[in-house]
Amino acid sequence: MEPIILIGGGGHCISCIDVIRSENKFEIIGILDIPDKIGITILGIPVIGTDSDIPNLIRKCRNFLISVGQIKSSVKRYAIYDLVKKNNGKLPVVISKRAYVSPLAFIDEGTIIMHNALINAKARIGKNCIINTGALIEHESIIEDFCHISTQAVVNGQVTIGKNSFLGSNSMIANNISLPDNIIVAAGACVLKAPQETGTYFGNPAVKMNRK
């Protein structure tokens, strides 16, 4: 098995560990987190340093997975991705043995496909995405870079989700809809027509949240 280091030691990290172990392709040799966590273990894996150690660690392990979660904003995950890439690290695709990914689909670097997710034919998943437990990405849909498709979310056929977006648990996007970048769809929301602007959408049918 190839060695890999996880970056981020919170709740999402725990799920990532389980997925990586199911794939049986990588050996997790350590986790990076805040200084106060150095020396502790998470599911038996030691926290060995912080993000600032990435340039030195790459000398012995080039594979990294960003295990920081993404709720609403992708800023933190993007910053880590940029740091790994600048130091010539690798961000492999991780796919659960319990997921189904069509051989006709495309998955870009740094993305994790979690348990019971389904990626159908000719779907395209961008860089550093989270396709969470039980999510469905239907035929010919495009998930652009740095998106989180949360648990049991449904993206129907020929949909495009703009980069840096978040779909909450049990949300649903109807066929042939394009969502702009940086959109948030709340848990349980149903998007039945294309939003005209970025923002947070909730309800069934989904409407933009008025923050006034």
Task: Write out pLDDT tens, residues 2-11.
Answer: 999 999 999 9
* The CATH fold of domain 93-203: UDP N-Acetylglucosamine Acyltransferase; domain 1 (2.160.10)
On the question of pLDDT at 211 being above 80, the answer is: no
Domain limits, CATH 2.160.10.10, in the chain:
93-203
Please tell me the predicted confidence (pLDDT) of residue 11.
94
Domain limits, CATH 3.40.50.20, in the chain:
2-86
The string of pLDDT tens digits covering residues 160-197 is 999 999 999 999 999 999 999 999 999 999 999 999 88
Catalytic entry in 12, 115, 139, 148: 139
On the question of pLDDT at 25 being above 60, the answer is: yes
Record the pTM: 0.95
Please tell me the predicted confidence (pLDDT) of residue 71.
82
Concerning whether 148 is annotated as a catalytic residue, the answer is no
* The CATH fold of domain 2-86: Rossmann fold (3.40.50)
- Full 3-state SS string of the chain: CEEEEEECCCHHHHHHHHHHHHHCCEEEEEEECCHHHCCCEECCEEEEECHHHHHHHCCCCCEEEECCCCCCCCHHHHHHHHHHHHCCCECCCEECCCCEECCCCEECCCCEECCCCEECCCCEECCCCEECCCCEECCCCEECCCCEECCCCEECCCCEECCCCEECCCCEECCCCEECCCCEECCCCEECCCCCCCCEEECCCCEECCCC
